[in-house]
Every structure is written in C-alpha cells, then in structure tokens.
Amino acid sequence: MAYKSKQLFESARSEEEARKIEVPELTPKNWNRLCDMWIDLKHKKRCDISKVNQTKLKSNHFMGSKAFVAARAELSENEPKKVEPDRIEFYKHTHYTSKKGWSSLEAETHYNNMKDLKDLYTSGEASMTTDEIVDTVPGTKLGYIRGLGYGPKANTTRATQRKTTELEDSLRKAKQEAASAQNNLQNRLNVAETVVENQQTQIQHQQSQIQDHQSLIEALNSQLNTIVARQEEMFRKMQCFARSSPSRVEATQTYVIIFAYFFFMKYINMYNLVSNFAYFLL
C-alpha cells in the first residue's frame, strides 16, 4: 500500500496536483500527511540512505515493507491446522519466489545449510530446535530475529560461538562420512560386476567345450555304426563262401580264420576310438 501510494505521489507533475489525487483507501487528511512526509527534505535524505544500505545487504528478502509477523500469520490461515510455518520454511518464503528464484546466492546457501542441520540433529540424540538452527546458520543480530523481524537482543556469548563451531564441524564430518560410504559402495559394486563378467566368460567357455564333446561323441557313434555294418556284411559273405566250398573242413577253417580276424579288428578299432576320445577330454 505504501509503495503504490508513493508511486501515485511521484506520478504527479506538482505538489498541488499530487494533493488533489484521491486514494480510496485513505482519507484526504491522511493523504495530505503522507504528502507532507514525502516532501520533507529530511525524509528524502533518509530514503536515499536506506537505498544505499539496501544495496549492501548480502541477503535481501521479497517482503517489502510488510511485517514478517503479519506475513507468517497469513500463511497459517492457508494451512488446514492453522499452524504457522517454522522459521526455516518461512525463511524460504521470504527469500524465494517461483518467478524470481532466490534473492541471493547467500540466501540459498543459508537455507540449504539449515535443512541439512535440521535433518541431522532433529532425528538424533544430540537434537537442536529450529530456532537454534536459524540462529546458528544466518547468525544473530542485536535487536533482530532472523526470519521474524525485530525482537529481543540476541545472545552473543562465547558459548554460542563455540556451539556454532561444533555444529559446523559435525556437519562437515557427516558429509565426509557420507561421501566415503558412497565411494566404498561404488568400489564394491565394481568388484561384483567384474566377478560376474568373469563367471559369464567361464560359463560360455564351458558351454563351448560341451558342444565340442557332443560333436565328438556323435562322430564316434557314427564310426562305430559303420564298423558294425561292415562286420555284419563280411560275416554274411563268409557264410556264403563256406556254403559254396567243396570241403566242409576247409570252409570251417576259413570261417574261423576270417571270424577271428574281424573279431580282432573290431576291438582294435574300438580301442582306437576310445583312446582318441580320452585324449580329447584330457
């Protein structure tokens, strides 16, 4: 409201024209008081100084002249349980918008550090309250409460500074431990992947050997069947020869000799086949 009223005042060409402007939210008397204040040279000087000081701030907020307490109360009206947001989330509300993003890099860093401390200390034995976390990360200022505006004087004792240092060290150690654990898990994963690849290679090699053995067995069976068929054929020829021989004695002798020969050759061939197969397996 104050910003829009000031814009109306500055849009006028002269002081008289500015005083004639009608503002629905203000009475003519209150409007003239504002005009008197804006015309005052001391007020102009204070405004110029404030503008310079605003440019020196490292972490500006987007609330303008609106009181933080009022803004926090308005946010609670939108909640189902009518509960005001804690100081960490309210800090984000005052320093971040979806259109403009963060007001500064330092404001974003403060918020991330506060979230890390909240996750680390609100769930363990060495717990911290949200107020303690906000007082630790953005820091404290005399007569000012970070995230809430003006309030009682802050505590600047040595104990608070020592507590801040301890918290920063704990947060740094926790991040280092998390990074170390992640590195160890990655190394173990790499070793497991290497073992699996080696086992897959061995399985493929064994499958190839099994296929070769099966092919050799099929070849040996084929050779054995061929030998048996030839022996049966020779045995039939021998019988025919014996029947056609004029002398049974000679036929019998011939039959015995030929049968012994083929019987001997059969086992010689079998021995060679088995020897070759055993040599292949070894």
pLDDT tens, position by position, 78-125: 777 777 778 888 888 888 888 888 888 888 888 888 888 888 776 655
Contact residues for 109 (Cβ-Cβ < 8 A; gap 6+): none
pLDDT at site 152: 46
pLDDT at site 151: 44
d(CA 72, CA 145): 14
Percent of the chain with pLDDT strictly greater than 70: 69
d(CA 32, CA 15): 10
Tokens of 179: 């990074």
Q: Considering the chain, what is the average pLDDT of its residues? A: 75
pLDDT digits over 34-48, tens only?
888 888 889 888 888
Tokens of 39: 């015309």
d(CA 279, CA 213): 12
Contact residues for 35 (Cβ-Cβ < 8 A; gap 6+): 9, 15, 18, 19
Which is more confidently placed, 200 or 275? Answer: 200
Our CA angle for 126, 127, 130, nearest 5°, is 155
pLDDT at site 10: 84
| Partners of 145 in beta bridges | 149
Q: What is the DSSP letter of 13?
A: S
**In terms of Cα–Cα distance, which of 146, 62, 72 is closest to 104?**
62
Domain boundaries, the chain: 1-56, 60-156, 207-281
Average pLDDT over residues 115-142: 71
pLDDT at site 11: 86
Q: Are 52 and 40 in contact (CB under 8 A)?
A: no
pLDDT at site 191: 92
Confidence of residue 71 (pLDDT cuts 50, 70, 90): confident
Residue 208 pLDDT exceeds 60: yes
Strand 96-97 versus strand 101-102 pairing type? antiparallel
Average pLDDT over residues 156-179: 77
